[in-house]
């Protein structure tokens, strides 16, 4: 008899590979991003089914403004369409949306859309879905420190953590990056200090339920010590029992 895998409370994902997925199919890059929205919908549903409480995704980094103008404008239009199409179903599914990132550089239309989506799902409790949009880990630390300084508060680990964009959820247990790259690209630099990392060769549009289960299974086999030795802790990830 096998032991069921330990499911992470909080999974964070760098959704990489949309553009390459489209290029390999001789499609415009935006077609890959549209397919990526479908993959996110599928992943969020799978997280609910598996008992994950928090899902955080890297949708648009502060560095992505440097991409071609037509791709950036297409992404903004795609965001607006996705909000209109997806929010009603997310509300029905019990998913609560948070958008984490700098909003001052966004258009009024986009800012209003983000606020409406958050308000529409504010009562939901089955899954918290954090969408990091116009976000960067360095920006998050800097804005938290600036906020504390402006209020005249001491800057400590606890106060800095509380002033960050992800203060409403615990730190991620598992950070997944798709697309074959092995870096975190300025994503959750503070929050991922003790996260387990999993790198998948699948491009994000191809990341399905089986790929998610593979990442969870890998997480389940790891011993999380948080600076302690194995002898000091009782492992919460026992080796599978084969029967």
Catalytic residues: 16, 64
Cα 212 to Cα 50: distance, rounded to the nearest angstrom: 10
Q: Which helix (H) or strand (E) holds 114?
A: helix 108-120
DSSP strands (E only) in the chain: 10-14, 54-61, 95-100, 127-135, 174-177, 196-199
Q: Which helix (H) or strand (E) holds 83?
A: helix 69-92
Q: Six-digit token pair at 29? A: 């890059």
Going from the C-alpha of 184 to that of each of 5, 52, 96, 195, 211, the distances in angstroms are: 25, 21, 25, 11, 19
């Amino acid at each position: 008899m096998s032991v069921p895998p330990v499911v992470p409370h909080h999974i964070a994902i760098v959704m990489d590979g949309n553009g390459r997925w489209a290029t390999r199919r001789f499609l415009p890059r935006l077609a890959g991003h549209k397919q990526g929205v479908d993959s996110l919908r599928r992943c969020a549903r799978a997280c609910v089914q598996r008992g994950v409480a928090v899902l955080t995704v890297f949708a648009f980094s502060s560095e992505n403004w440097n991409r071609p103008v037509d791709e950036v404008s297409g992404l903004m239009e795609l965001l607006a369409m996705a909000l209109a199409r997806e929010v009603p179903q997310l509300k029905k599914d019990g998913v609560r949306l948070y958008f984490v990132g700098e909003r001052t550089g966004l258009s009024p239309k986009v800012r209003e859309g983000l606020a409406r989506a958050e308000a529409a799902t504010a009562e939901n409790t089955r899954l918290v879905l954090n969408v990091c949009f116009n976000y960067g880990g360095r920006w998050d630390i800097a804005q938290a420190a600036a906020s504390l300084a402006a209020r005249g508060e001491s800057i400590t680990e606890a106060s800095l953590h509380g002033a960050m964009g992800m203060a409403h959820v615990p730190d991620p247990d598992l950070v997944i990056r798709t697309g074959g790259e092995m870096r975190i690209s300025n994503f959750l630099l503070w929050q991922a200090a003790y996260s387990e990392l999993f790198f998948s060769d699948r491009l994000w549009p191809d990341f399905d339920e089986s790929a998610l289960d593979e990442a969870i299974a890998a997480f389940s086999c790891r011993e999380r010590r948080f600076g302690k030795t194995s002898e000091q802790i009782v492992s919460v990830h026992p080796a599978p029992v084969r029967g």
